[in-house]
A and B are shown apart, each in its own frame.
Chain A
Amino acid sequence: MSAIAKLSTTSRMSRRAAISLVLALALVAMAVLVNKTPLGEHTWLRVLFGISALNFTLRATVPLVLGALSGILCERSGIINIGIEGMMLAGAFAGFVAKTSTNHWPLTVSLIFSVAVAVAVGGLMGAVHALFSIRFRMDQIISGTVIIILALGASSYLYNRDAIAEGKFSSIPVPGLSQIDVIGPVLFDNPPITYLALILVLVVHVALFYTRWGLRTRAVGEHPRAADSVGINVNRYRYVNTSLGGMLAGLAGAFLVLEAVGQFQEGMTAGRGFISLAAMIFGNWNPFGALGAAALFGYTQALQNELLLAGVTQVPRQFISMLPYVVTIVAVSGLVGRVRPPAAEGKVYETEGSA
């Protein structure tokens, strides 16, 4: 069963993957050309491929891809997670509280501690979602909504405006690699959570498709009855995966507070959890697909800002501001083609004979 499922997934993915790879290589080639040759004198090309555009893209991509990975972990095991936004926000707030209460610690220690707290609280939110969905057989969409409302309400209620987080992660250049032209400053001169997010894409991919745990997770998400019949504890997998997913969303929140901004803001996730969901769907519930989709959404945000900064167009600002949203809608509704969610997604699993 699982072998067939895997085969069909990979064959469907291969064309997509090939196209994405070609696009990515073309982008790198253009970026090198624009930043290293006289082509860079064209303002439009600089807007599209300049180092600042690529850096902005990566930065906007990180929370989206972490959110999408969170969604993938949950949904591959059959639990719909629309609460990513709430888990992210809870993580962000927890990270902020941890940072402000450890301001007097050495900066690095305090930051790492705060990330750990953010991840733990994100995981806790994931566990609550799993509890609602599995133990109480609650509609998973509603449970996700409760998570969002709970995080938004609790974080605004408890937020102390006088609290100041002192310091955030600075970039750590990778020795050697960061010296490479164009690619170095974009990929190898980043703060730690950015590296971590990129590594996690690979880790989740390998874990899902090449380990026993991944095989069982996918089986639980596709056909829980079959999984159960060979002795897999379906609900235990769902609890674990949803909690892990929550931890990734918490890490996305930590990125916002401890790496991107250095301060908390009410509702600061600003819909990133929902865009993550779109990235997850657009990426067909695959980690690398999600990375590609998140990068596309990040790129449109970068483009929006580059256009505004360069002032090269007379198009009213409001239309430029629509760019990320229009691309999201087009991508999810049209471009995406056929995607297939895990078959058992959103369905409560009860062992045979249980009431």
Chain B
Amino acid sequence: MNSSRLITLFTILTALALVLAACPAPAAMPAADADSSAATDDGMAGEFKVGLVTDVGRVNDRSFNQSAWEGVVAAAEGLGLAEDDFKYIETQDAKDYADNIQQFIDADYNVIVSVGFALADATNTAAKDNPDVFFIGIDQFQGETLPNVAGLIFNEDHSGYLAGVLAGSLSQSGTIAAVLGTDLVPPVVAFNEGYIAGAKSVNPDINVISTYHPGEISQAFVDPEWGAATAKQALDQGADVIFGAGGITGNGALQEIATAEGAGETVFCIGVDTDQWNTVPAAHPCLVSSAMKLITPGVVDLVNLASEGAFPGGNYFGDADLAPFHDFDDMVPQELKDLLEETKAGLIDGSIDTGYGN
């Protein structure tokens, strides 16, 4: 009888199923050029050292982690730091945030950048214990001001407003749409309110149909199927410019519009957070621009301020801007480019009010 062998096989399969299911999804493969020990084994003790702790994921994630690291690299080169004096640690698991930050502290780093809202607690705890080290927390809103922590945050309504001006100007149909993550997250609401205000500023009669994901916060940013279906729905209702703002959910919307009839000719899409030309190549046929949070220059500024001893504790507002138009550069008329520049200046000097938070 070979049935006992088969039963063994079956048992192994079942056990394998359970084991695999129990495995946490690995955050990332260990990077070839850096690992957790990278921070501690540097030989040269420099004058000024900058470390970066990523949120779960890789440093080349074409998103927040990468933008922040590019800021560190640019600042370090500007300051003429040695190769060994700026390093990153890729967080593999959310429970390692504090340990990863501690590694940099133990190695006498002067500035530690922590990327993402999720690291806020670990960052502030470490900051209280180490008043001599400067911390830059990206997307970390500071409720209380610590002198050695700067939360790099953004006026999402400003970049939403710029996206709205662009969408309102490009639209031929008079209907534009936004496919959004949840309204339980304030920055998403800010993007949307700014978007609507911006579109109305160029065309007061414009019809803006915008939808938030109906589900919980845990699904709202990781439901590309809903994003795609909703984008199609908006197209069916006559929208010809669609703003996808909601992580992977928004990416689903961008990819849907890219395959729609007239993509890039009569129908356009706008991405969010980073330049999505780089993050969602499948969206190239329709992606005019993205409403960005400029993390890289924000990090450069803060690192420089720290090196000059003029570190600003509390919330530090980074700039909001639109991403380059890439292949659509010729399709965007010069007047519109000028209008966007004026609008951006107006938002920065406060002469234009997006209406968000009033």
Q: Interface on chain B toward A: helix, strand, loop, or mixed SS?
A: helix
CA distance A321 to B220 in the complex (A): 13
Given contacts A50-B236, A164-B281, A166-B282, contact A60 B229 (CB under 8 A): yes
- Inter-chain contacts of B252 with A (CB < 8 A): 261-263
* A168 at interface by CB-CB < 8 Å: yes
* B237 at interface by CB-CB < 8 Å: yes
Q: A265-B225, A268-B225 are in contact. List 4 more A-B contacts (CB 8 A).
A: A136-B6, A150-B20, A170-B260, A260-B229
Tell me whether A256 and B282 are in contact (CB under 8 A): no
CA distance A305 to B226 in the complex (A): 9
CA distance A53 to B234 in the complex (A): 10
Given contacts A152-B21, A161-B28, A317-B212, contact A132 B236 (CB under 8 A): no
Contact with B along A222-266 (1 / 0, CB 8 A): 000000000000000000000000000000000010001111011
CA distance A181 to B206 in the complex (A): 27
**How many residues does chain A have at the interface if contact means C-beta atoms less than 8 Å apart?**
53
Tell me whether A260 and B214 are in contact (CB under 8 A): no
Tell me whether B17 and A150 are in contact (CB under 8 A): yes
Interface residues of A (CB under 8 A from B): 50-53, 55-56, 59-60, 128, 131-132, 135-136, 138, 146, 149-150, 152-154, 156-157, 159, 161-162, 164-171, 185, 256, 260-263, 265-266, 268, 270, 302, 304-306, 308-310, 317, 320-321
Tell me whether B232 and A305 are in contact (CB under 8 A): no
Distance (whole angstroms) from the CB of A24 to the closest CB of chain B: 20
* B7 at interface by CB-CB < 8 Å: yes
Return the contact of A149 from the options B21, B222, B230, B281 (Cβ within 8 A).
Answer: B21
CA distance A203 to B203 in the complex (A): 52
Tell me whether A321 and B215 are in contact (CB under 8 A): yes
- Inter-chain contacts of B259 with A (CB < 8 A): 167-171, 262
CA distance A270 to B225 in the complex (A): 10
17 contacts between A and B (CB under 8 A): A52-B232, A55-B233, A131-B10, A150-B16, A154-B17, A157-B23, A159-B25, A162-B58, A168-B259, A171-B259, A261-B255, A262-B252, A263-B282, A265-B248, A270-B219, A321-B214, A321-B215
**How many residues does chain B have at the interface if contact means C-beta atoms less than 8 Å apart?**
49
Tell me whether B230 and A309 are in contact (CB under 8 A): yes
Closest to A51 in B: B236
CA distance A136 to B68 in the complex (A): 54
Distance (whole angstroms) from the CB of A9 to the closest CB of chain B: 35
- Inter-chain contacts of A305 with B (CB < 8 A): 211, 214, 229-230, 233
Tell me whether A136 and B10 are in contact (CB under 8 A): yes
* B297 at interface by CB-CB < 8 Å: no
Near A by CB (< 8 A), chain B positions 1-52 give: 3, 6-7, 10, 13-14, 16-23, 25-26, 28
Interface residues of B (CB under 8 A from A): 3, 6-7, 10, 13-14, 16-23, 25-26, 28, 57-58, 61, 209, 211-212, 214-215, 219, 222-225, 228-230, 232-234, 236-237, 248, 251-252, 255-256, 259-261, 280-282
Distance (whole angstroms) from the CB of B267 to the closest CB of chain A: 13
Tell me whether B211 and A309 are in contact (CB under 8 A): yes
CA distance A244 to B18 in the complex (A): 26
Tell me whether A261 and B237 are in contact (CB under 8 A): no
- Inter-chain contacts of A266 with B (CB < 8 A): 25, 222
- Inter-chain contacts of B225 with A (CB < 8 A): 256, 260-261, 265, 268, 270
Distance (whole angstroms) from the CB of A40 to the closest CB of chain B: 12
Given contacts A268-B225, A270-B223, A304-B214, contact A166 B281 (CB under 8 A): yes
Closest to B14 in A: A146
CA distance A88 to B253 in the complex (A): 22
- Inter-chain contacts of B219 with A (CB < 8 A): 270
Tell me whether A167 and B17 are in contact (CB under 8 A): no
CA distance A131 to B9 in the complex (A): 11
Of B28, B57, B225, most buried by chain A (CB within 10 Å of CB) is B225
- Inter-chain contacts of A156 with B (CB < 8 A): 23, 25
CA distance A138 to B13 in the complex (A): 14
- Inter-chain contacts of A128 with B (CB < 8 A): 13
Distance (whole angstroms) from the CB of A67 to the closest CB of chain B: 14
- Inter-chain contacts of B237 with A (CB < 8 A): 50, 52, 309
- Inter-chain contacts of A320 with B (CB < 8 A): 214
CA distance A305 to B6 in the complex (A): 49
Closest to B259 in A: A170
Closest to B226 in A: A305
CA distance A87 to B6 in the complex (A): 22
Closest to B238 in A: A52
Which 5 pairs show the lowest CB-CB distances between chains A and B? Answer: A153-B20, A153-B21, A52-B236, A150-B17, A321-B214
- Inter-chain contacts of B233 with A (CB < 8 A): 52-53, 55-56, 302, 305-306, 309
Return the contact of A308 from the options B57, B214, B251 (Cβ within 8 A).
Answer: B214
CA distance A60 to B225 in the complex (A): 9
Tell me whether A56 and B21 are in contact (CB under 8 A): no
CA distance A132 to B11 in the complex (A): 10
CA distance A36 to B236 in the complex (A): 15
Tell me whether B57 and A149 are in contact (CB under 8 A): no
- Inter-chain contacts of A59 with B (CB < 8 A): 229, 232
Given contacts A135-B6, A150-B20, A162-B58, contact A167 B14 (CB under 8 A): no
CA distance A252 to B234 in the complex (A): 24
Closest to B230 in A: A305
Distance (whole angstroms) from the CB of A89 to the closest CB of chain B: 12
CA distance A270 to B229 in the complex (A): 15
- Inter-chain contacts of B211 with A (CB < 8 A): 305, 308-309
CA distance A59 to B229 in the complex (A): 7
CA distance A317 to B211 in the complex (A): 11
Tell me whether B255 and A263 are in contact (CB under 8 A): yes
CA distance A265 to B211 in the complex (A): 21
Tell me whether B236 and A265 are in contact (CB under 8 A): no
Distance (whole angstroms) from the CB of B331 to the closest CB of chain A: 21
- Inter-chain contacts of A53 with B (CB < 8 A): 233
Closest to A164 in B: B281
Tell me whether B20 and A154 are in contact (CB under 8 A): yes
Given contacts A153-B21, A306-B233, contact A262 B255 (CB under 8 A): yes
Tell me whether B209 and A309 are in contact (CB under 8 A): yes
